[in-house]
Amino acid sequence: MTAERLGAGDRRWDELIAAAPEPDAYYRPGYCAAYEAARHGQVVAVATEHALWPLLLRPLPFGEKGSDAATPYGYGGLLLTGTDAVTATDLDQLRTWCIANEVVSVLVRLHPLLGGPAQVAGLAGWEGLEVREFGPTIAVDPREIDGETGRLAGMSKGRKADLTIARRELELSSGTGEEALETFRVIYDGTMERLGAGEFYLFPPDYYLALAEGLGEDLALALALRGDEHVGGALFLADPDGRFAHYHLSGTTDAGRELKAGTLLVHAGAEWAAERGAERFHLGGGTSGADSLFAFKKSFGGEQLTYGFATLVADAGRYETLVARRSEEPEPPRPGFFPAYRA
């Protein structure tokens, strides 16, 4: 078997996910295509003997011909479609496909709920492959919402208190119509700007419309209101055939932070996940490992997992040439960044 390239409109892409042992929304073409709408690259999926690799192809810098590839934003990456671990055959097929299509390097996220770095266990010696751990993430069981208190089991004392405040002061609305998505985008962008996040974390309106169209009922939006004022919002996603739901993006205004809207929104996501019959609601991790954002998510209780990623240099000669070109730039590179020629 040789690797097969699939486009977002190819039915086989969805069929491979539906037949996988653990299907998940992050691998769906409807999710990945939103990042093409956000101009992160051209979306494709590469099918090897035992795995599916959804990727975004990005033009190489310095005017060089060809591209490199990376998993779309989120916690997707490598989806096993056969065995319980990726094999050297899959990596050989992926590399062959990359070289044939002038793809120099690949960055693959390793889904925490599907094993994280363990997905590529046993292949540490494979030439050109490196596995890196980034940090912890949190997943809660949405089925463990107490019928009497209406709270997730395992929440910290402070998180329970914040939920009480938020439920007293705020109301929730839902829906993924264009107006609601635009309301969320404004709140989210304001949050990212306040935090000093880079442009990568800001998405155009077309992204949200593509996400809603691509996922349909598998995308949910909750908005927190104080009277007529929107003070927070969060997007959640899930797979129609899978066991997992995810807390995707969120933001709050200054008033929303004071009224604990973030806590209310996360809990609303857990309630949505429970209604769908999901077994785990993944909150994700921090922006830099075990930071304050991770601490917030950990305060909801649940299970701690490990997020990591694999890097693959498919064409070592061209990779080193590009790194040399980067070294001629005046700005110092970011240590440890992959690929190094984009550091």
Query: Do 245 and 283 form a contact (C-beta atoms < 8 A)?
Result: no
Residue closest to 269 by CA, chosen among 291, 300, 309, 304: 300
pTM: 0.95
> Cα separation of 264 and 277, whole Å?
20
User: Which H or E element spans position 308?
Assistant: strand 303-313
Query: Do 151 and 163 form a contact (C-beta atoms < 8 A)?
Result: yes
In this predicted model, what pLDDT tens digit does every residue of 218-277 receive, in sequence order?
999 999 999 999 999 999 999 999 999 999 999 999 999 999 999 999 999 999 999 999
**Strand-pair partners of 53:** 46
In this predicted model, what pLDDT tens digit does every residue of 2-56 receive, in sequence order?
899 999 999 999 999 999 999 999 999 999 999 999 999 999 999 999 999 999 9
Alpha-carbon torsion (309, 312, 313, 315), positive or negative: negative
Counting Cβ atoms within 10 Å, is residue 123 exposed (0-12), middle (13-18) or buried (19+)?
Answer: middle
- What structural domains does the chain harbor? 4-136+307-342 (3.40.630), 142-301 (3.40.630.30)
> Cα separation of 244 and 256, whole Å?
28
Block residue for tokens 């070294």: 327
In this predicted model, what pLDDT tens digit does every residue of 47-90 receive, in sequence order?
999 999 999 999 999 999 999 999 999 999 999 998 778 999 99
User: Which H or E element spans position 263?
Assistant: helix 261-276
Residue closest to 318 by CA, chosen among 287, 334, 340: 340
